[in-house]
Structure 1
Amino acid sequence: MGRFAGFSMQAASAGLLAALVGFASSFAVVLQGLDAIGASRAEAASGLMALSLAMGLCGVFLSLKTKLPVSIAWSTPGAALLATTGPLAGGFAAAVGAFMICGVLIVLSGLWKPLGRWVAAIPASLANAMLAGVLLTFCLAPVQAVAEGPELALPIILAWALVWRFKRLYAVPAALVVTIAVIVLTNDLPPFESAYLIPRPVLVIPEFSLAALIGIALPLFIVTMASQNIPGVAVLNANGYRPTPGPLFAATGLFSLLAAPFGGHAVNLAAITAALCAGPDAHPDPQRRYWAALVSGAFYVLFGLMAAAIAAFVLALPTYLIMAVAGLALLGPFAAALTDALGEAEDRLPAVVTFVVTASGLSFLGVGSAFWGLLAGLALYALTRWRGRL
């Protein structure tokens, strides 16, 4: 058997499902995020390709190295953060500089324990409130789509709701299928060219600025660690695996750093799709489940090689429909973040302040609202604790 010892069709099927769900449910969010911060269509396609290759190769590497079902995903909350941040002074090059700084911070969080402890010390209620504020704009998109084109948006939402009722995991892919069908039937599609099949990496020379550091790099680092990497470790622990988190974080940061010059914002440990690869549905034997993560990673690489065609198709479509699908995909994470943000009565008001300021879209001194929301929430949180000691 050699290298294929332990392989099973059950694990391979779970890996394929994880890749399909992970890619189909959120690639539209990634493209919208890159487009919002000033990426051209070619740069957005390159970013999608870089992220797909990075998370696929990183997942294969870590699963082979640890023999654990380590699943990797792009930072969906991070992409939503980009969409709410908007263009920076310095353009997309400044955003790429921020991506690289974020990658370095993730590496350091894995290698230098104090940084990891500082991130863990951020109150979970405030981190989740910031995430909920970032996601709110997307979650309003389905409603706005109904107002803009009810005859097109309502079938998509109906398909999502019906499938969600019976099989929640397939709800967003089903909505995506209906979206594609609606678009094919009602729109003139762009002419397909064979050149779309050729991967086209676009190297962006990064620029570094304080505004990009504060407005993108730090919030992107925090939401990626707090809402993806740390929960990703928790999913592995819940399924009986006890990896040392530091090396996993450092590896995702390194692959994020490699993807950044080509437009990729960040990759991290998967949380939702990780359960598909690490749970008993992947295989009854826990020692053979790592094959599910290997197969998932291989398919992410395949999807990355098709990214030019996918991006060319999506970016030529009506924006409000793509935003609607992205919003449906993020309703679950939004509900979870808001619930966790408001769970502790003592922290509720600081969390609400964080959420409101973040959701406001406030931009001050060139820095986006996510940073100011977290800063405002931390200030009130500290004041609450200080008053409590008087």
Structure 2
Amino acid sequence: MDSRPVIAGVVTALVGFTSSFAVVLAGLRAVGADPAQAASGLLALTLAVGVGVLLLAWRSKVPVTLAWSTPGAALLASSGTPDGGWPAAVGAFLTAGVLIALTGLVPALGRLMSRIPASLAQAMLAGVLLQLCLAPFTALGTVPLFVAPVIVCWLLMMKYAPRWAVPAALLVALGVIAMALAGTGKGPGQGGILPALVWTTPAFSLQAMAGIALPLFVVTMASQNVPGVAVLRSFGFDTPWRPSMLVTGTGTVLGAPFGGHAINLAALSAALAAGEEAGADKGRRWIAGVTSGVAYLVLAVFSTALVTLVSAAPAGMLEAVAGLALLGTLAASVSAALADAEDRIAPAVTFLTAASGLAFAGIGSAFWALLAGLAVRTLLVPRSAQA
């Protein structure tokens, strides 16, 4: 029996987890989570992804794969702690989950979402990614001995094995941290190694809804769910849209009180389970999806131990690894935002507003970036071209 679907599923989970968990931790810490709450959030996301994939792939017999919202985590990293602190951020996560689920239940909401120009959504994402993607290079000035080996490893792997560039860089980073700890005779940072979920009662504030929930919903839909459908279609599979939105929305809602920000359809890693690497028989590639779900549940066991080790890293180290993980996404977002030569000013304004870190009335720059881009586009682009 062909074992390639099983191998492809395991690789999908490993690449998805190791290439972006640093982004998740950076984002959760930025909106007010303490180390235990950030570890709980990573665990909740990993469990939600694993269970969600098992449900969707097994029932639909389509190689559907899920992931946490990496662009959403990057958005959190640039947002800062909202009014109301971590509980308000958790309330925003829960709200984003409700919106995702409603997208599957209410077609009108999906149509409303589609009216946001893709160029503006990509420009907003690129703006919030910029500061995090600068982190590897700014860290060279503060902790060069820690960061330089990570960057060198990433560059070499980008040349010879691009898919494994970020996981390899992460392994080097963990090795550097372990060596540094051994040299000082100190142990890892505070925290256990056994996974544990930490409950946070959600709170709700207007600032968190506008500054976190709405932008999180937009970037998750535009940068993960829509591309995820396109990837599956490119391999000849139809995405079970309504079940996918209901499962990911419900998973986000259930994971939010434990710190999970959002789960969604996988985009880049989806090709690993849906493509020829999962076997020549397209009818058996759904096994890769199921296997990736099982692998995520196994990885959940080690999530807290990874957080405990990473917490001992020098300041800026975690952000540096996260920035390397997002460089490809930044490049793709900038390219998509500015692809139309006749409509570049509005995306440029959106990008710069998001990158500026502007905060007004307690609401972060992502929200104002989207409003500014829509206003400029309405002013400059003829109505016929907007349609």
Structure 1-normalised TM-score?
0.95
Query: Does 2:14 match 1:20?
Result: yes
1:194 Cα shift?
12
Q: What are the superposed Cα offsets for residues 150-190 of structure 1, whole Å, 9 maximum, x if unpaired?
A: 22211111111011011110111111111112222223475
Taking the TM superposition and a 5 Å limit, the aligned residue runs for 1:1-390 are 8-187=2-181, 188=184, 191=187, 196-386=192-382
Moved more, 318-327 or 266-275: 318-327
1:243 Cα shift?
2.7
SS for the counterpart of 2:141 is helix
SS for the counterpart of 1:196 is coil
> Distance in 2 between the 1:304 and 1:70 partners?
20
1:306 Cα shift?
2.1
Q: Residues 273 and 335 from structure 1, CA distance in 2 versus in 1: closer, same or farther, beyond 3 angstroms?
A: same
SS for the counterpart of 1:268 is strand
> Distance in 2 between the 1:195 and 1:295 partners?
30
Q: Residues 123 and 102 from structure 1, CA distance in 2 versus in 1: closer, same or farther, beyond 3 angstroms?
A: same
> Distance in 2 between the 1:205 and 1:189 partners?
38
Q: Which amino acid aligns with 1:238?
A: S
Q: Residues 246 and 304 from structure 1, CA distance in 2 versus in 1: closer, same or farther, beyond 3 angstroms?
A: same
Q: Is the Cα contact below 8 Å between 1:190 and 1:313 reproduced in 2? A: no
Q: Which amino acid aligns with 1:185?
A: M
> Distance in 1 between the 2:336 and 2:273 partners?
25
> Distance in 1 between the 2:175 and 2:303 partners?
20
> Distance in 1 between the 2:189 and 2:74 partners?
30
Q: What are the superposed Cα offsets for residues 312-345 of structure 1, whole Å, 9 maximum, x if unpaired?
A: 1112211312211111110000000000000001
Q: Is the Cα contact below 8 Å between 1:190 and 1:316 reproduced in 2? A: no
Q: What are the superposed Cα offsets for residues 17-50 of structure 1, whole Å, 9 maximum, x if unpaired?
A: 1111111111011011111111111111110000
Q: How many residues align?
A: 383
Q: Is the Cα contact below 8 Å between 2:343 and 2:381 reproduced in 1? A: no
Q: Which amino acid aligns with 2:60?
A: T
Q: What are the superposed Cα offsets for residues 251-289 of structure 1, whole Å, 9 maximum, x if unpaired?
A: 111111110110000000000110000001111111111
Q: Residues 189 and 143 from structure 1, CA distance in 2 versus in 1: closer, same or farther, beyond 3 angstroms?
A: farther
Q: Residues 367 and 25 from structure 1, CA distance in 2 versus in 1: closer, same or farther, beyond 3 angstroms?
A: same
1:193 Cα shift?
10
1:192 Cα shift?
6.0
Unaligned runs of 5+ in 1: 1-6
SS for the counterpart of 1:243 is coil
> Distance in 1 between the 2:18 and 2:224 partners?
18
> Distance in 2 between the 1:158 and 1:194 partners?
30
Q: Which amino acid aligns with 1:111?
A: L
> Distance in 2 between the 1:307 and 1:165 partners?
29
Q: Which amino acid aligns with 1:291?
A: I
> Distance in 2 between the 1:244 and 1:287 partners?
16
Q: Which amino acid aligns with 1:330?
A: L
> Distance in 1 between the 2:374 and 2:252 partners?
28
Q: What are the superposed Cα offsets for residues 105-136 of structure 1, whole Å, 9 maximum, x if unpaired?
A: 00011110011111111111100000000110
Q: Is the Cα contact below 8 Å between 1:109 and 1:116 reproduced in 2? A: yes
1:244 Cα shift?
3.8
Moved more, 57-66 or 290-299: 290-299
> Distance in 2 between the 1:368 and 1:90 partners?
14
Residue 4 of structure 1 is matched in structure 2 by none
Q: Which amino acid aligns with 2:107?
A: K
Q: Which amino acid aligns with 2:50?
A: G
Q: Residues 213 and 51 from structure 1, CA distance in 2 versus in 1: closer, same or farther, beyond 3 angstroms?
A: same
1:104 Cα shift?
0.3
Q: Which amino acid aligns with 1:373?
A: A
Unaligned runs of 5+ in 2: none
Q: Residues 175 and 193 from structure 1, CA distance in 2 versus in 1: closer, same or farther, beyond 3 angstroms?
A: closer
> Distance in 2 between the 1:372 and 1:382 partners?
15
SS for the counterpart of 1:92 is helix
Q: Is the Cα contact below 8 Å between 1:111 and 1:247 reproduced in 2? A: no
> Distance in 1 between the 2:188 and 2:364 partners?
37
Q: Which amino acid aligns with 2:288?
A: A
Q: Which amino acid aligns with 2:67?
A: A
